[in-house]
Amino acid sequence: MKTAARLLYAIAVLLGLALGGPARALDPARTIPQFKHTSWTAEDGAPTNIWALAQSADGYLWLGAASGLYRFDGVTFEAIPLADDHYSHSHHINALLVTRSGELWAGYRRGGVAIFRDGKLREFPQAGSEGILTMTEDQDGAVWAAFSTPKHNLARFVGGKQQDVDASWNLPEGYIMDLRVTRDGTLWVAIDGSLSFLRRGARRFERTDVVMGAGAGLTEDAGGRLWVSDSLGARPLPNVAKGETARRGAPAGYIVSDSARYARILFDRDGSLWGTTFSTGAFRVAKPDVAFATNERTSRPRAETYEAKDGLSSNKAVPILEDHEGNIWIGTSAGLDRLRTANVVVEPGIARSSRFGYMQFVDRDGAIWTADSDTVYRASPGQAPRMIRDRLDNPTALCQDKAGAMWLGANNSLTRLGGRPRTVKPPVARDDPYSGCVVDDRGDLWLALFATGYGRLDARGRWTVFPPLAPELVHSNITIDRQGRLLLPTPRTLSRVAADGAVQTLRPSPKLAVGGLRAIYQGPKDLLIGCEFGLLRLTGDRFQALQVARFPWAKGVQGVVQTPNGETWILGALGVVQIRTKDLARAFDDPARPLNYRLFDLRDGLPGPPQQNGVRDVVMGGDGRIWILTLEGVAWIDPAHIARNALPPPVSIRSLTVDGRVYRDPRDLTLPKGASKLQIDYTALSLGIPERVRFRYRLEGVDKDWVDVGGRRQAFYTNLKPGRYRFQVVAANNDGVWNDQGAALAIEIPPTFIQTNLFRALCILALIGLLWGLYALRLRQVSDRIHGRLQVRMAERERIARELHDTLLQGIQGLMLRLQSVVDQIPADLPARQALEGALDRADDVIVEGRDRVKSLRADKAGDLHDILAELVERLGLEPAIKVRMVVEGTPRRLHPLVREEIELIASEALFNAQRHAQARAVEIDVGYGRGALNVRFRDDGVGLDQAVLDSGGREGHFGLTGMGERARKIQAEFEIRSRPGAGAEIELTIPAGVAYLSLGRRAWPFAARRALTSER
């Protein structure tokens, strides 16, 4: 994944270069203070005592410091320890090298080399114990390391082994200051005042007579010439490897520092020479001239310096680096510094401090006139400002009359500049200063006089004073509209004064909610008014507003200017905004539509917040530059040379944190079981303005769409379920160029046992078992209750049977015996005896019938159900008229006596109906002894039943079907009749096993009693 990302990034860089360059170097036309400078010190988390800098292919900036190895993404400094956290040497890193293979090599001051590979920093086991001063890689992939010993001073690492450079290599002894491999493959070595080189493939160094000073640093320019910077200066060296001879005597060159004891230099992509020394900070030669630098002159030019007094974190600077985007990085003893192109350029020719602020004016020639509290400057198009007049006392008004003369108001005097100076006395005795100078169509000068009102100075030098048009303070920002009317604002109103003196006062509606009026600009078409909380456009007498709630950049607008090429520049509380004029006009007509703009703020070099004057705080010069007044100085923007970063930022996932465990530079991971909370730290390596980098991410499987998080560099997820996820993050640089490839991380969270399907299945089974057990328990309770009721009924019947047998039948039997004795005493021929004997016979029948009833009450009839039914068939005399077939399924079981009795009675009724009403020729009786239920079914082939009979449950006046249903309900049985006319009838009786059988195994309880429970409910 990492290799692919590097390849894509390299392709993007090459495409960007082919299209004109993805990033700009620092403009040679500017001085160092005109670049945007940023420092990071220990207070910002930066390491101190930085000795080496490098940038890897993934965009990270690497820092070798006394406290170890760090990497920086523009926002966060991250310490990189050794993988085993065991140092056989000091933490102090002297040298860093990124090889062609993408590895980072770190050389330690007290000896040893470590290599950062695959996200781990590991010691190189074959490295010796000598301290490393500097390293480089030749074109064959060998790494050369200079040691901190004068004798054993150089070695190379090839194939994972260290090869020392001994005397056979012909390298002089001494401390090596720098190593450099030029594009022809030659290795150059600067040693304590001497220079040697090794041709590619050779095994012996060649010594030169080139004079070298102390602390030499080497680099190569765009033409392939070797340069050196040392205590003698910065200069090109003769290519002695190609036959050039070294000049004798003191070398010429650019003066850098005569006390440089350690120097490093480089050429940026635009050809400027940059360097550092360990005594005087950084230096720069914007356009180094090889011919000039090699000539022997008594007066040599001094390089431009940048030291601690100019803002550098420390004068003790060593490493210097140009990154992929053209930024210059400098490591010092106090921290890290960055210099980059600033689109907003602070003008160094104008003082950075002004007690009463600044004012400016554009004359007819396009020159910018600027005044601070003491001095007036003029900057012609394309030129730097030059002083026109100084020792002033707070200039407050600046304008140009129709004749082309410039007028300057300072306190209570008005002076004409240029030609023959002229001073005009004030119109009235007053202490208020002049301000807001404008010229009307007649050529008269108008000035705001604060509490006095407004004054008009005509061509003859006569004053006319007009009182304030409103009770509010007089606004200094007066102007002339396209109709030649004088526009006089107050904080709440705008008055238009016509040539005939007619005054029209306009007041924006409170519904527009834009606050007080601040700046007025008459554009080519529209009149624009900057306000406290928005921007107004006045068309005729109608105000339209862009409010801060929808357009945040419109807060505190202090100045507006529109250019001939269709751009509007607005200075507000957030900075300077660049908008296409036609887009701005559309936004006024439809504030809901999107409006594209570009903001320039402190990060772009704006020196400070805008002033509160609102008098031409932003103007355009004749060369197209936009000049801006701030509380901290005067700056300008050149719209024709705005730097744009076209390089998509490399995106990297820095770490993944799971339950306190950190995975640095993670690749596809399988996390610990049960992980559910993740913290993902990511970054984008755009080092110019990293604060403006924007991110979007998503976690496939969780996020349905991209999550836009602005500049946040962390993602948090909780309550993640086991499974496979893929985290993706993309980023845009400070100019909105997106790297849509971004970075991705595949994550797998294995389930714990309780998260597996097996555990879920076991839980479901356990739950089912629990529910089944509860259900079975309930069913058994119901079954026991039903059996209890049957037992109560059985006991009651037995009690009745005993009572009948022991009382009534016994009493009748005794009575009959006494009557028999009486009858025996009566002669046989008497009629009374015959009558009594007949009565006794009838009494015997009653006793027999009573005994039968007592027997039936006891329900102790022996035999299985199918035998009882067979006996019933025989007793009813169905055969041979009706063929009866009986089928028995299952193992016969003992039935509860009451159940058996009710079944017998139901069967009797069913068979009787088949014989009497159905006209059946065959009857089938099925008895099924099931584990869950007892099934008894009677099926005949008779005439069947009408649907009306089935619907009503019986015929009117007949109670056979009704009685069968009632008997079935008594034993909790399901009773069902199915029939069609001409197709016979079928009667099915289903009795739960828990009710029907006397003894029942546990396995049959739940199903057996289910219907019983239903019936109970």
**Which tens digit of pLDDT belongs to each residue from 344-395?**
999 999 998 888 889 999 999 999 999 999 999 999 999 999 999 988 888 8
pLDDT the model gives residue 87: 58
Helices and strands in the chain, H and E counts: 12, 69
d(CA 135, CA 131): 11
Residue 424, judged by CB atoms within 10 A of its CB (0-12, 13-18, 19+), counts as middle
Which of 186, 307, 301, 192 lies closest to 242, judged by CA?
A: 186
SS (HEC) of 369-380: EEECCCCEEEEC
Angle, alpha carbons 1006-1008-1011 (nearest 5°) = 95
Residue 212 has pLDDT above 70, yes or no: yes
Q: Is the pLDDT of residue 1015 over 60?
A: no
Q: What is the pLDDT of residues 246-287, one digit of tens each?
A: 776 667 788 887 667 788 999 999 999 999 998 889 999 988
At 63-75, the pLDDT tens digits run 999 999 999 999 9
Separation of alpha carbons 386 and 365, rounded Å: 16
- CB atoms < 10 A from the CB of 506, how many? 15
Radius of gyration of the chain (CA): 54
User: pLDDT of 675-691, one tens digit each?
Assistant: 888 999 999 999 999 99
How far is 911 from 925, CA to CA, in rounded Å? Answer: 10
In 978-1002, which positions are buried (b, 16+ CB within 10 angstroms) versus exposed (e)?
Answer: ebeeeebbbbbbbbbbbbbbeebee
pLDDT tens digits for range 875-892: 777 778 888 888 889 888
Query: In the structure, what pLDDT confidence band is assigned to residue 8 with cuts at 50, 70 and 90?
Result: very low
AA letter at 642? I
- How far apart (Å, rounded) are the C-alpha atoms in residues 680 and 678? 6
Split at pLDDT 50, 70, 90, the class of 900 is confident
What's the pLDDT tens digit per position in 479-516?
999 888 989 888 888 889 887 778 888 999 989 999 98
- Cα distances (angstroms) measured from residue 379 to each of 387, 395, 610: 9, 17, 21
d(CA 31, CA 20): 24
Whole-number Å distance between alpha carbons of 567 and 624:
11
Mean of pLDDT values over 210-225: 91
Nearest to 458 by CA among 448, 477, 445: 445
Q: Provide the whole-model pTM.
A: 0.76
Confidence of residue 1001 (pLDDT cuts 50, 70, 90): very low
| Residue 536 confidence (pLDDT) | 95
pLDDT of residue 798: 66
Average predicted confidence (pLDDT) for the chain: 85
Listed in sequence order, the DSSP H helices in 214-312 are 290-294
CA-to-CA dists, residue 413 to 121, 369, 425, 435, angstroms? 72, 18, 6, 11
pLDDT at 393: 83
The better pLDDT of the pair 1015, 223 is held by 223
pLDDT digits 0-9 by tens, 961-987: 778 888 888 888 888 888 877 778 888
Q: What integer pLDDT is reported at residue 1016 of this predicted model?
A: 39
Closest CA to 362 of 600, 521, 495: 521
Phi, psi of 700 (to 5 degrees): -60, 130
pLDDT digit string, tens, across residues 815-836: 777 777 777 778 877 887 777 7
Report whether 220 contacts 227 (CB < 8 A): yes
For 876-885, b/e burial (b = at least 16 CB within 10 A) is bebeeebebe
Contacts (Cβ under 8 Å, ≥6 apart) of 856 = 901
- The fraction of the chain above a pLDDT of 70, given in percent, is 88
pLDDT digits (tens, 9 = 90+) for 534-576: 999 999 899 999 999 999 999 999 999 999 999 999 999 999 9
Query: pLDDT band at 666, cuts 50/70/90?
Result: very high
Q: Work out the pLDDT band at 175, boundaries 50, 70, 90.
A: very high
- Measured in degrees and rounded to the nearest 5, phi and psi for residue 314 equal -165, 155
Please give the Cα distance from 433 to 412 (Å, whole number). 5
What is the percent of the chain with per-residue pLDDT over 90, rounded to a whole number? 46
pLDDT at 759 over 90: no
The tally of CA atoms less than 13 A away on the side-chain side of residue 348 is: 7
Task: Please give the Cα distance from 563 to 576 (Å, whole number).
Answer: 14
Q: Which residues contact 528 (CB under 8 A, 6 or more apart)?
A: 520, 521, 535, 536, 537, 538, 560, 568
| Structure-token pair, residue 302 | 């001094």
- The pLDDT score that the predictor gives to residue 24 is 55
CB 99 within 8 Å of CB 144: no
Tell me how far apart the 2 most distant CA atoms of the chain are, in Å. 188
Which of 937, 929, 907, 936 lies closest to 997, judged by CA? 929
Q: Does the pLDDT at position 7 exceed 50? A: no
The predicted pLDDT at position 1010 comes to 39
pLDDT, position 13: 41
Q: Residue 10 — very low, low, confident or very high, per pLDDT cuts 50/70/90?
A: very low
DSSP code per residue over 25-69: ---TTS-GGGSEEEEEEGGGTPPSSEEEEEE-TTS-EEEEETTEE
Q: Look at the block and give the residue holding tokens 């040893």.
A: 112
At 1014 the pLDDT is 39
Distances (CA, A) of 775 to 622, 921, 992, 1001: 96, 46, 15, 16
* CB 140 within 8 Å of CB 159: no
Residues 890-904 have a mean pLDDT of 83
In terms of average pLDDT, the best of 82-96, 228-242, 370-384 is 370-384
Contacts of 112 (CB under 8 A, 6+ apart): 88, 89, 123, 124, 127, 128, 129, 132
Task: Please list the alpha-helical segments (H only) found in 471-612.
Answer: 581-589
Distance, CA of 846 to CA of 111 (rounded, Å): 129
Query: Is residue 10 a contact partner of residue 17, using CB atoms and an 8 Å limit?
Result: no
The pLDDT of residue 11: 42
User: In the structure, what pLDDT confidence band is assigned to residue 128 with cuts at 50, 70 and 90?
Assistant: low
Cβ contacts of 43 within 8 Å, gap of 6 or more: none
DSSP assignment, residue 806? I
- How far apart are alpha carbons 966 and 524 in whole angstroms? 105
Q: What is the pLDDT of residue 17?
A: 37
592 pLDDT above the threshold of 70: yes
604 φψ region: left (φ > 0), alpha (ψ -120 to 50), beta (else):
alpha
How far apart CA 945 and CA 1001 sit, in angstroms, is 39
Which pLDDT tens digit goes with each residue over 469-479?
666 556 678 89
